[in-house]
């Protein structure tokens, strides 16, 4: 993720189905040494377009996913899966062996993808999302197990 990507990232992040992040939030992530920010770029009409992004932290041998989103017209093409896999690989390369994330209870597509990587619900945060009062599911994974699960599919 680069500053040049910001306009496209903000366009993706403004999707009404997401909890929107502001430009300042992304700028802060780009400045933190433990924050990792990746984009998925696809070629469309002979130009590169940001199709999705992922933001995560790696601290004390653990990753924490903070944000992942794919532009609506690129969904269901494996982009989120590739971003998630890139996060796991980077986390493992830096010595992480576990990870956590939170996901809306209603986001079945995301939950299924995370489960594909071996993530399991560990707890529920009631009324976590302020705009809808929806619960957040906290999911965790042991990275080596998550990769083994994925490779056996």
Domains of the chain (ranges, CATH numbers): 3-151 (3.40.630.30)
d(CA 126, CA 75): 28
d(CA 62, CA 100): 8
Cβ distance 150 to 142 under 8 Å?
A: no
pLDDT value of position 138: 96
| Tens of pLDDT, residues 58-77 | 998 999 999 999 988 888 88
pTM score, whole prediction: 0.85
Q: Which residue has the tokens 């993530």?
A: 119
pLDDT value of position 55: 94
């Amino acid at each position: 993720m680069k500053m040049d990507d910001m306009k496209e990232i903000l366009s993706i992040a403004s999707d009404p189905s997401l909890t929107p992040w502001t430009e300042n939030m992304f700028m802060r992530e780009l400045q933190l040494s433990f924050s990792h920010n990746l984009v998925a770029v696809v070629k469309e009409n002979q130009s590169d377009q940001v199709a999705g992004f992922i933001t995560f932290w790696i601290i004390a041998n653990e990753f924490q996913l903070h944000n992942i989103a794919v532009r609506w017209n690129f969904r269901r093409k494996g982009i989120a899966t590739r971003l998630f896999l890139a996060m796991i690989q980077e986390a493992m390369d830096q010595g992480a062996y576990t990870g956590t994330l939170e996901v809306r209870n209603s986001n079945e597509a995301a939950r299924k993808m995370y489960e594909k990587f071996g993530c399991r619900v560990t707890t529920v945060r009631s009324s976590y999302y302020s705009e809808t009062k929806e619960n957040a599911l906290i999911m965790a994974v042991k990275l080596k197990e998550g990769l083994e699960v994925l490779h056996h599919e």
